[in-house]
Amino acid sequence: MKQEPAAQSTPPPSPSPNASVQSPQEDGDPPALWIFGYGSLVWRPDFAYSDSRVGFVRGYSRRFWQGDTFHRGSDKMPGRVVTLLEDREGCTWGVAYQVQGEQVSEALKYLNVREAVLGGYDTKEVTFYPQDTPDQPLKALAYVATPQNPGYLGPAPEEAIATQILACRGFSGHNLEYLLRLADFMQLCGPQAQDEHLEAIVDAVGTMLPCFCPTEQALALV
């Protein structure tokens, strides 16, 4: 299997050239911020928010290239979690959460520990296109793991990534649960949401899982 597939999805049509990017804060409104999640944040944000929207960002592809020694792995056996790779033709689906007022500082404080301190992620501004209103994009904050962080593992064949995921567990649970919950989210987004890298790893796990443990134990992992 090729190690690095081409563009992973065909996103919905681009908004019209005259469409304006919405600012996270309007005059007279309380301070607000949109936070884009594309990994575990899509099912477990664990911070208070005012609104959430499913959608996508352009110019990035999701990859299981970041090592995790806390949430989904250990120092001896780091798990594999996702980051964003700049990709001109890429499209990554996820969830954007709006935080307002006191929620902003509380969310950022929490995510600084969860994503930056424990995860090795940096922050980056992205343009988020809601699924229902792609002609009304939003500026959002995303957490991205770059090759410069010490936990970065980089590319590997999907079969090797699947093997690593099946072997790892951390304080937040088994690495397999992380993979399958992300795959479930993508299915809920509909046929327009594609992720060839994610699908290839899920397929590889499906061929390997019977060799690792009986069905009953496999189901217990998730």
- Are 96 and 55 in contact by the 8 Å Cβ rule? The answer is yes
Within 8 A by CB and 6+ apart from 118, the residues are 70, 71
Q: Report how far Cα 25 is from the mean position of its chain's Cα atoms.
A: 24
Name the residue with tokens 């911020």: 33
Integer Cα distance of 162 and 159 in angstroms: 5
Integer Cα distance of 209 and 149 in angstroms: 31
Sign of CA dihedral 153, 200, 52, 27: positive
3-state secondary structure at position 206? helix
DSSP state of 118: T
Catalytic residue among 115, 158, 159, 199: 115
Cα R_g (the chain), whole angstroms: 18
Within 8 A by CB and 6+ apart from 112, the residues are none
Assess whether 26 carries a catalytic annotation: no
Active site residues: 115
